[in-house]
Every structure is written in structure tokens, then in C-alpha cells.
Structure 1
Amino acid sequence: MHDDHSHGHDSDHHHSHHDPTSPDVRVEALEDLLIEKGLADPERIDATIRRFSHDIGPMIGARLVAQAWADSDLRQRLLDDADAVVADMDIRGAEIEHIEVKANTPSIHNVVVCTLCSCYPWALLGLPPNWYKSPEYRARVVREPRTVLAEMGLELEPDTEVRIWDSSSETRFLVMPERPAGTEGWTAERLAELVTRDSMIGVARAADPGGQ
């Protein structure tokens, strides 16, 4: 948790956006060149990024959470050994070599951050949002989590314990939000529609079932 930040990120993860040889900078330069030459449409690029950020990517994690909501045995297996569950389900992709799942309860709320860069379970949540990578979020959510969460629209009860989990190159975290009331009898497919990317980072609750 947040009292241990010595988590040994790969050296090329440290603020790579300031390094002109970093992949992020080189990709941005290539994108700018393709747009300038009329070979790429910036609106289509943005739409594709939005799709992977909010739809395709997060739905893998959302389906996993929804299945755990509907199956108490799976839920416990995820909390005990998420790596085994992910392997059994043949979920593959970037940055999920070792995953730990932390479940929210009425008395405990979990939040994920990467204080040194932006380690993030891409294969489960898609592309990381810009705010997750920002120095402001990385620094403030550790020092004043309730204030940051409130600014993002999540108000917690005063007696709720907030636990901050610091992702690293060795371990990524996924938050299992609380299952909303009023969803008894729902299928896992329908439940997955309530699980958002932000709720799996811990900066929001699952969506209101009343809107479904």
C-alpha cells in the first residue's frame, strides 16, 4: 500500500514523456507526421483511442468483475490468486504478469495509483486515462485521497477506510467495486454493463442499475 513506494519500476518507465527517445514521444512524432502528410485522420485516431479506452479494453475487466459478483467461489479465487484465474480464462495481454484484485466493501474503499510512473493493467482495463498518468493524481491521491476522490465525484462516508495500492512493474492492481443493490438475479452479462474503468481503478463506484 501507500507506505511502501520502493517498488522498482523499470528504468525506462520514469517520466518517459520527457525523453526524446522514449516510445511515447516517438509515437506522437510519427502520428504528427502522418497527419501532416494527410495519411492519417486525427478524428479517427481519437475515436479509436476512445474506443479502446472506454469500450473494448475495460470490458475485459468488467466481465471478470461481473462474473465474480455472480459467483462467490470465483470471487474468492480472484482475491486469493488472480493470476491463476486470469490464466484459466486465457486472458492475455500487456502488463498483467502479476495481478492482485482488491475488493471494496461497505467499510473499505480501495484506490489504485502508480506513484512513480503509470503502471496499469492494460489487458484488463484498456488504455490508461490521462489523469492516471498525471503527476498531480500520482502525488495527491496518496496524500489526500478523500479530497481527490471528492473532486472526481466520489464522496465517501467519514468512517470508510481508504486503502491506496501503488502499482509497480512487478504488480498491477484491479479494484472490484461493490455490487450495486437491486441487481439480484441479473446475469453476468448485464452486470458487466455497470462496471466502469474508473470503478476498477477505485475513483468511482459501479454505475447505478437504475439507469440500465
Structure 2
Amino acid sequence: MQARVKALETLLTEKGLIDPAALDAIVETYETKVGPRNGAHVVAKAWTDPDFAAWLRKDATAAIASLGYTGRQGEHMRAVFNTADTHNVVVCTLCSCYPWSVLGLPPVWYKAPAYRSRAVIDPRGVLEEFGVTLAQDMKIRVWDSTAELRYLVIPERPAGTEGMTAEELAVLVTRDSMIGTGLAKTPEASS
């Protein structure tokens, strides 16, 4: 796949249809300015600011936009909160709807038919394949993103993080934890 992408990029560059520098700038934007760091900031703020968390529950689109994260496929958002007894997972069964402005570029597996179908049929099995083993009595809710509505999972705040700043907490939040296929890292795991 990488060889095909490189061949296509080379051909389009040689024909003058794309500028490699512009392409690099777009990719860099989605990797560093738009993406998981934005979502991690949203989660950390929810963990440290109860008023923001309540706003996020009520109107995630507005709450997220208040932090400056709007745009491509992030226009209509809903935040779902993991709890001690419920774990949330996001999938898009029809295509690959994904909140780019908050989570960046979607991972390849998110768009794969196997994930899109199995996440609904066997979410516990899929989570185990991602290394997330939940208690058998833990309820798993699967949320299906659409072109009209995208989801952001607010993972549970890890134990032992009391007194940490929002910036320190954001480092514990991963893209996968905001999709529900992972958990937030513990302070020990992040160091």
C-alpha cells in the first residue's frame, strides 16, 4: 500500500497536479495541529473542570468548539462518558465517519470492514484484540457514527492522577481511548 501511495504521489507530482510541499503541510496539520492532541485536551478539561464536563454532556459540539476545535467532520459531536460500569466504543458501520478536528486522521483499522462489523456483533472480543479486557459484568455500549453525528469517548480518569494539571493529564489520553478501543494510560505507563 505504501508503495502504491508513493507511486501515485510521484506521478501526480511529475504531472504538476500536486505540490509535495503542500501535501506535506496538509499531513503535518492533521498529525500535529488537528488530531488526537485536540481530543486529549478536551478530555483533560472534562476531567478537571466539572462545569465543562456538564457542558460536554449537554452540548459537545459547542463545548468542543469553545476550545477552538471545529471543522471537517466535527460539526456535530456527542460525548459519551465511560464509567465504572459502562464502557463506550465508537464505530461507523456504513463508512468511516470520524471527527477529524478532534481525533485527527482515522486509523486504517477504523475503516476496515472487519472492525466496522465486528465492533457491533462482538464488541468484547474486539476490545480484547486491542488489549482491553473488561470485567464480564461491565456493560459495553457501541455508538454508530454517521454523517450527521460523531462521537467522542471520554475515558475514565486513571487512578492516581489527583493533583495533576490538565496538561499533564492530556498526555495520558490516547486516540484509541477516545474511540473506546483503549483506556487512558496510567501515570506510570506514560513515563
TM over 0.5: yes
1:66 maps to which of 44, 47, 62: 44
Identical-residue share of aligned pairs (%): 53
After superposition, the Cα gap between the structure-2 partners of 1:55 and 1:155, relative to the gap in structure 1 and judged at 3 Å, is farther
| Residue in 1 that maps onto 2:139 | 161
- Given residue 61 of structure 1, which amino acid in structure 2 is its aligned partner? G
After superposition, the Cα gap between the structure-2 partners of 1:51 and 1:197, relative to the gap in structure 1 and judged at 3 Å, is farther
SS of residue matched to 1:159: coil
Structure 1 position 117 matched with structure 2 position 107: no
Q: 1 CA distance for matches of 2:32 and 2:133? A: 23
In the TM superposition, 1:90-129 aligns within 5 A as 90-129=68-107
| Residue in 2 that maps onto 1:22 | none
Give the TM-score of the pair, scaled to structure 1.
0.78
After superposition, the Cα gap between the structure-2 partners of 1:165 and 1:138, relative to the gap in structure 1 and judged at 3 Å, is same
Unaligned runs of 5+ in 2: none
- Given residue 163 of structure 2, which amino acid in structure 1 is its aligned partner? G
SS of residue matched to 2:106: coil
Q: Cα RMSD (Å) of the superposition?
A: 2.6
Unaligned runs of 5+ in 1: 1-26
Q: Would you say the 8 A contact 1:53–1:129 is kept in 2? A: no
| Residue in 2 that maps onto 1:189 | 167
| Residue in 1 that maps onto 2:124 | 146
SS of residue matched to 2:90: strand
| Residue in 2 that maps onto 1:174 | 152
How much does 1:144 deviate? 0.4
How much does 1:96 deviate? 1.1
In the TM superposition, 1:3-152 aligns within 5 A as 30-34=8-12, 49=27, 52-53=30-31, 57-152=35-130
How much does 1:91 deviate? 2.1
